[in-house]
A and B are shown apart, each in its own frame.
Chain A
Amino acid sequence: QSALTQPRSVSGSPGQSVAISCTGTNSDVGGYDYVSWFQQHPGKAPKFMIFDVSKRPSGVPDRFSGSKSGNTASLTISGLQADDEADYYCCSYAGADSIIFGEGTRLTVL
């Protein structure tokens, strides 16, 4: 099972908004409303940012939002801040009791 497809990199200036896409198939992203997003700073463990496509765990700023259309999920970060610079990974339930991660996207804050 191949990883979900994400852009290798995205960038934005402080205060701007960026969106990161995550494309799968009908067997994973498109088949279930079970998509999570994780933020990973260099040398650190991933951090849980979004679950069930668009819900935020407690403590995650509302600048982070998620959505889904068909086989593509998206993470949008508004009001970009320097500390948002990190790698972002989507993750989807993929049926048959398995989960699959995206390839990862490097966000650069210019």
Chain B
Amino acid sequence: EVQLVESGGGLVQPGGSLRLSCVASAFRISNYAMNWVRQAPGKGLEWVSSISDSGGNIKYAGSVKGRFIISKDDSKNTLFLQMNSLRVEDTALYYCAKAELGWLTERIDHWGQGTPVTVSS
């Protein structure tokens, strides 16, 4: 059974940094695109970033471009999100999500349970 387990969330001050991790099991992330999607408290889903199966195609939402970096370690079957220059509006539950294909697509077939990030002074 596909599992995605996120970790690394927490409370951070504005301007600070956090690194999220997502360990995948029952499939190889080297075969699928992977995504980070966030959900602010009481709000809707927002796509954050995607990385292709090969790692050669990386995309970001405009709201995080230049501040967040997505990466992965295929040998550890783990996805990462380095979040820098955090803002209050980055406060959300961050989901790791597997695409059904090897490239960026709206076909997201599995989601983790999320890791909460709170940006506050």
Contact = CB atoms under 8 A, between A and B. Distances in A.
Contacts, number: 69
Contact of B50 (A35, A45, A92, A97): A97
Interface stretch (A11-19, A46-54, A77-85): A46-54
B44 A45 contact: no
- Which secondary structure dominates where chain A touches chain B? strand
Given A45-B111, A45-B112, A104-B45, A93 B61 contact: no
B106 A45 contact: no
Interface residues of A, number: 27
Interface string B98-111: 00100111111111
Nearest to B62: A1
Interface of A: 1, 3, 34-36, 38, 40, 45-48, 51-52, 57, 89, 91-93, 96-104
Interface of B: 37, 44-47, 50, 57, 59, 61-62, 95, 100, 103-114
